[in-house]
A = this chain, B = another copy of it.
Amino acid sequence: MDKQLNPPQRILMGPGPSDVYPGVLRSMSTPLLGHLDPAFLTIMNDTMDLLRHVYQTENKLTIAMPGTGSAGMETVFVNLLEPGDKAVIGINGLFGTRMADIAERCGAEVIKVEADWGTIIPPEKIEAALNEHSNVKLVAVVHAETSTGVLQPLEELSEIIHNYGALFVCDMVTSIGGTPTEIDKHKVDAAYSGTQKCLSAPPGLAPVTFSEKAGEVINKRKTKVQSWYLDLTMIQDYWSGDRAYHHTAPISMVYSLYEALRSIKDEGLENVYSRHEQYGRALHSGLEAMGLKLLVKKEHRLNQLTSVIVPEGIDEAETRKLLLEQYGIEIGGGLGSLKGKIWRIGLMGYNAKMTNVNLVLSALEDVLRQQGYEVTGGAALKAASEAAAK
């Protein structure tokens, strides 16, 4: 007989998934409701309300798509773009690259605005692209680049984009629940995110939100959305008063999202953000006290995801292997052009706490020492503790 599921215990401090709130884990064992049951429809409504709260928006069209974060990305582009449309895409990491790939598959003309991985997209480069190309339908940037740990400021960008009459699209997979998203304040027209980062729910849903203006663009399309599964012209009727059958919602995942959002609202958004700020700052100080260099300069660093440059002579993958095997701690490696060059350490959602800062600093110090890297014992923990107390 096949074995019962008994996976090893881990502390998930990579780029996601992160560890899930205990209450969220328990909620997954709740027996199912039918997906058209009035009681489930109430849960869907409550989940939409909570999503609006956490996204910081009044957008009516704020729902959880039935797939992981990348399905959210695809949802935004397949619904907003039609063949021949122009899209300006900011690329400063893997997820910008992915947005461009998806937009091209929609038949759009993609105008790439590139910046070095680990830096932000300069707003003036977006403005230059909008100046050069007329009738751009949308501009997309990644708010929190999971592949580099960069936080893209939105305010100036938003003003530029709206001056040119384009839609403002944001990848908020790693920012939601960890960094203020402020959809309405920044006039973001469409955003998508994942559940497995700072929301601390399991992967499997992609919360998306669309402004009224973006909704009108979708409802006035000349062509059918190329993906049936992600077609919002139908799905909006499933998540609305009509409850028109489309797909079967992933019931247990909706349970988990509801409970995760409820935990966040209960703690208070401001408290959640400042907790991420506090422990992110502690981790940064600790790593620097260990003599390590961070990829991203201070003012553009994410609190929830930190990219550390692998010191010379240290094996990137071997270090992660030792952390996993000796400590049960998972951290991430680099992607694309940063493969083998950085580690990515997450302090996301439920995991953004001092015990995790201490654990990862101590463990990293040990496995680096095993590889001949010299570290002043205890300096990292002291620096982290001081930074956290600031």
Contact = CB atoms under 8 A, between A and B. Distances in A.
A386 B304 CA distance: 63
B28 A228 contact: no
A30 B5 contact: yes
Contacts of A31: 7, 9-10, 19-20, 25
A43 interface: yes
A262 interface: yes
Interface in A1-52: 1-2, 4-5, 7-10, 12, 14, 16-17, 19-20, 25-35, 37-40, 43, 46, 50
A266 interface: yes
A67 B250 CA distance: 8
A60 interface: no
A256 interface: yes
A265 interface: yes
A7 B34 contact: no
**What's the number of copies of this chain in the assembled complex?**
2
A16 B249 CA distance: 11
Nearest to A98: B228
Interface residues of A, number: 78
A335 interface: yes
B248 A16 contact: yes
A226 B246 CA distance: 21
A179 interface: no
A203 B249 contact: yes
Contacts of A38: 324
Contacts of A196: 32, 248
A25 B29 contact: yes
Nearest to A246: B70
Interface string A317-332: 0000000100000100
A32 B19 contact: yes
Contacts of A250: 68, 202-204, 253
Residue of A249, A250, A262 contacting most chain B CB atoms (<10 Å): A250
A202 B31 CA distance: 9
B255 A253 contact: no
A35 B17 contact: yes
Contact of A8 (B39, B68, B204): B39
A102 interface: yes
A306 to B, nearest CB: 17
Nearest to A28: B28
A32 B5 contact: no
Contacts of A98: 228
Contact of A226 (B12, B68, B105, B265): B105
A203 B10 contact: no
A381 to B, nearest CB: 25
A134 to B, nearest CB: 27
6 contacts: A5-B255, A32-B202, A70-B246, A101-B228, A245-B335, A252-B252
Given A12-B33, A17-B32, A250-B253, 18 more contacts: A1-B266, A5-B30, A5-B255, A7-B30, A7-B33, A7-B39, A7-B40, A8-B33, A12-B34, A20-B32, A67-B67, A68-B247, A71-B229, A78-B227, A98-B228, A101-B228, A203-B249, A203-B251
